[in-house]
Amino acid sequence: MRARCIGLLVVAFALGCDGGGEATLVVALKTDFVPLVEFTHVVVRAGGAERTYAVTGSEDFGDAVAVAEISGLDPVTDVRVEVELLDRDRVLVARPLLVDLTRRAVAVTVVVTRSCRDVTCPGADNPSATACLGGRCVDERCTEETPQYCQSGMAGCRADVDCPSMDACSRPSCQLGACLYEPASGACGDGQICLPATGCVEMPVPGADAGVRDAGGGPMDAGPPPMPDAGDPCDAVVCDPLEICVDGACQALPPCRGDGTCAEPTDVCHGRRCVPGDLDLDGDGVPASLDCDELDPERFPGNPEVCNLLDEDCDGVPDNGDPATLCETYPGGGICIDGSCGCPVGTYDLDRSIAGCECVADPPLGEGVACASAIDLGSLDDSGAMRVVSGNVMPDDREVWYRFHATDIADTACDNFHVRVHFTDNPGNSFELTGFRGDCATAVCSDAGYTDMEWATDFRADLGGGLLGGQCPCTAIGSPRTTDVSGCEDDSADYLVRVRRRAGSTLTCSAYAIEISNGVYDTM
């Protein structure tokens, strides 16, 4: 990254030494679209000039890659620049810019995110936000050099951890408030490349045409070839997208500027080319007149939606449908959130027979996570006070702590103090408890997988040597002691209970129930 930035600054500095009256613009691109797999060229237009950068596949577009240098521009403010990423002849995404060239030598870094595919700007909330960043409409002046223009009414990310994960081979990166997805080092095997939201795919073969993308293991390229004409000279001819075979030779379809600009009224404009309405170039079974993307066989009316921020069914809305249903076939389950399947914080998809994140952490995340922040259950006196608590200790590596104060009411004949903590419901014997008296270090029951804890004085035991155990019977404090009878002491104390899952237990969302009492049970 440092070497790239220095190189770009050197270009800008060298240009700045020119004392002429014209301006020079250097444009660098940063994107999480995958070179060669998703785009093959970058086109930059400014002041009537156009530059095309052919992608080699060796670039790291996670850093700034210089894609164009345009000289002879007027040194004025608000010069309009268009940056397009093309998949051969098809425009994948376009990004408008407004650049101030009054300094005469200007270098800008434009960030193009995959979440801007199928996003139309401006939105209804801000007609002046005509560019897209991170799926949000922003000011056209938004670049890495001018981040103050990259804000919008919608909240973006502040750090990498704010970005949802897409797949195992990519890692999220928060830049300018937008989530980009970069390949994780070593995540894919030899001859493979990471395609965010899809996973590891075969590295494209330069110059090869792998045809329609399917479930096989062949290389990916810019897309499927068009169907050849029925004439014999074209039987063995394979043309590039937006070309048709005529008399054995491939010819480009006529250019267009948008809907209604084709000479033939039955033609439709796809990828800036006039495609006959009855042709099906991408082989998805839908003619060009009805297809929203004639170069992508995975986008056509009636195609089921997938959670990926794309519009597979051509209704103009990506990922529309039940969020849980969109992720039914995803290995990790969950619900569709911003183009990826997962669960909101504090929820989990444990039962794959039920779509969605059916399990909710109980107690909520952040409650009772340590001894110092134990959930306070109040006081329980030995007249028979009782509390029942429940939870599921999710996620499974969590601990849940409870605190209560056991009060020993003053007695004159027999102390009824008897603290007991035990499970009344322990699904699959999955949970265990550890009890502490007084502080977090004094264990009543150590870490041995206990399910029941007691501390009591409602008994009498002869310990030998004139020593007695228990306080039933007992004599009141301040009263004359009776032979072989203990004093009625005040044994009030704080108690802490830690609950966790047993190692190796089956992970379910079923909840435990723990009864906590004082003076309810008698020592046998």
Q: What percent of the chain has pLDDT over 70?
A: 89
Strand pairing category for 486-487 and 474-475: parallel
- Give the per-residue pLDDT at 9: 38
Residue for token digits 């056509």?
300
- Give the per-residue pLDDT at 127: 85
- Give the per-residue pLDDT at 334: 92
Q: Kindly indicate the confidence band of residue 391, based on its pLDDT and cuts at 50, 70 and 90.
A: very high
**Mean pLDDT throughout 388-395?**
96
Instruction: State the DSSP H helix or E strand holding residue 194, giving kind and residue range, or none if neither.
Output: strand 192-195
502 or 236, which is more confident?
Answer: 502
234 or 268, which is more confident?
Answer: 268
Residues 6+ away with beta carbon under 8 Å from 441: none
- Give the per-residue pLDDT at 184: 82
Which residue spans within 20-64 are E strands per DSSP? 23-31, 41-46, 49-54
CB atoms within 10 A of CB 38: 21
Q: Give tens-digit pLDDT for 407-442.
A: 999 998 999 999 999 999 999 999 999 999 999 888
- Give the per-residue pLDDT at 206: 57
**Mean pLDDT throughout 151-168?**
77
**Mean pLDDT throughout 85-99?**
91
Q: Give the separation between CA 349 and CA 471, rounded to whole angstroms.
A: 51
Residue 356 pLDDT > 80, yes or no? yes
Q: Which of 34-38, 211-215, 361-365, 491-495 comes out lowest in average pLDDT?
A: 211-215
CATH architecture of 371-518: Sandwich (2.60)
Which residues on neighbouring strands pair with residue 425, listed in sequence order?
Answer: 513
Domain boundaries, the chain: 2-159, 325-360, 371-518
Q: Give the separation between CA 412 and CA 162, rounded to whole angstroms.
A: 62
Residue type, 16: G
Using DSSP's 3-state secondary structure scheme, residue 86 falls into strand
Q: Give tens-digit pLDDT for 464-518.
A: 766 778 899 999 888 887 777 888 999 999 999 999 999 989 999 999 999 999 9
Using DSSP's 3-state secondary structure scheme, residue 5 falls into helix
- Give the per-residue pLDDT at 19: 44
Q: Give the separation between CA 154 and CA 349, rounded to whole angstroms.
A: 28
463 or 113, which is more confident?
Answer: 113
Q: Tell me what the pLDDT averaged over the chain comes to.
A: 85
Q: Give the separation between CA 515 and CA 420, rounded to whole angstroms.
A: 8
Residue 212 pLDDT > 70, yes or no? no
Residue 10 pLDDT > 70, yes or no? no
* CATH homologous superfamily for the domain 2-159: Carboxypeptidase-like, regulatory domain (2.60.40.1120)
Residue 231 pLDDT > 80, yes or no? no
